[in-house]
Structures are given as structure tokens and as C-alpha cells.
Amino acid sequence: MAGVSTLLKYKLTVLGDESVGKTSIIIRFTYDKFDSTYQPTIGIDFLSKTVHLEDFAVRLQLWDTGGKERFRNLIPSYIADSSYIVIVYDVTNRKSYLNISTWIEDVRTKRGNDAVIVLVGNKTDLVDKRQVSIEEGDNQARKFGCMFVETSAKDGFNVRHVFFRIISNVRQYKKPHDNQSPNLSNQQPSPQESQHTPPNRSQEQDIHPQHPPLAVPTPQASS
């Protein structure tokens, strides 16, 4: 992209119970694809996506975690240096919703309030099977001081919005070279906010979003 001279990097870890759609959300955002064949994540997987903004670019390092209990001991080390945490539950699986508090507790224990947490209710396309209302999701997010978005990885509904909410909300608190950690605990999006993405693997993908110019918090140092 012409004029872009700075590449900023941010680590984002996606957490949640098994089968809630963590991988599907990442794949939809990164490649705009959906695979109906379920293949559970074994341990930790990694992808990245570069987002081109007005005068710089942001590379989101997306860490996909396995939801099985035997992988839980791997998660704290990945949370430790993540700028953002996305916690996903399945709106058709109430147990996954009830387990939100455990996931958030894990994050708060490791990071306090230093990491931005986004609560995501996935699988909104399964309307007849819904067990968790949008109001319940929003109330839970408010209780724990998180942002909240409902999505469908299958049809692409709101998936891009999850990631652009993160970037755009941080702009209120930080400039690209500020050294403070982001804290959006008091910022609550409306559960009715939505953005549709047309339904449609390389390690990195570039996008040029048709959104207003955004800013992000201080990036990780390049390795």
C-alpha cells in the first residue's frame, strides 16, 4: 500500500470451549472461507493477517487454542504477552456460555486488566437452536468489563467486525507510539451493532478495509 512505512504487530489469542468455532472465526477473517468439516485444534495453532490503514499497517498475530481440557496448561504462556483476548462461546451451547467466567478468570489471573477482552457469541445462523440470548451475552460482557459481538463464522456475519472493533476502540486511548497497555474495560458496544461480510490458507493475508483510518496500541517488538 503506497505511503505505508510502519508495520505494527499485535498478538491476539482466541480462547473458548471445544467446538465453539474459534478456528472457523479465524479462518473466516483471514481467508474469508468456511469449512464445515470439524477438525479440532491440537494444542496451539498460529496465523497472521495484515490490515492496511491510512498511514501504517497492522499485523495481527492470531493464536488459535485447543478447547480440550488437556490443552489448558498451554494457554497461560500464550495469554502472558497477548494484547488482545477473544473469548468465544456457542450461542447454541449454554454450557460454553456458562464457562465464560472460567476463561475470563484465567485471563485476569495472568494479565489483570492489561489485556483487551472481546466476548464473542458464535453460530448465530443456527436460529432454531439458540440457547443463549443476545441480551445474556451483552449482560455477561458488561459484568466482566468486556466488549461483545455476536457472529456467524459460517455466513461471515460480524466476523470482520470483531477484529475491527478491537482496533477502532483502542484509538480512543492510544496513539501508535504510546507505551501504555490498552484497557477498554469500561467500553461497551451495543449488542445490536452489526456489519455483514460477504461469505466466500498461506501464513499471511493482506486486506485494505473500507473503514475510517484507525490507530492501535503499542506493538510488540519484532523478533
Note the pLDDT of residue 117: 94
* Residue-level pLDDT at 8: 77
Element (DSSP H or E) covering residue 31? helix 22-31
pLDDT at position 189 is 39
Amino acid 3: pLDDT: 54
DSSP track, 155-180: TTBTHHHHHHHHHHHHTTT--TT--S
The pLDDT of residue 77 is: 78
Query: What's the rounded Cα separation, in Å, for the pair 2 and 4?
Result: 6
What letter does residue 200 receive in the DSSP assignment?
Answer: -
**Domains identified in the chain and CATH numbers:** 7-207 (3.40.50.300)
- Burial of 220 per CB tally in 10 Å (0-12, 13-18, 19+): middle
Which residues of the chain fall short of a pLDDT of 70?
1-5, 37-44, 56, 67-72, 168-223
The three cell numbers of residue 125 are 445462523
pLDDT at 221: 45
pLDDT at 155: 95
* Long-range CB contacts for residues 126-130, cutoff 8 Å, separation at least 24: 126/91, 126/92, 129/92, 130/91, 130/92
What pLDDT does residue 2 have?
A: 54
Task: Give per-residue pLDDT as tens, 93-131.
Answer: 999 999 999 999 999 998 988 888 999 999 999 999 999
Q: Return the pLDDT at 60.
A: 87
What per-residue confidence (pLDDT) applies to 72? 67
C-beta separation of 219 from 9 below 8 A: yes
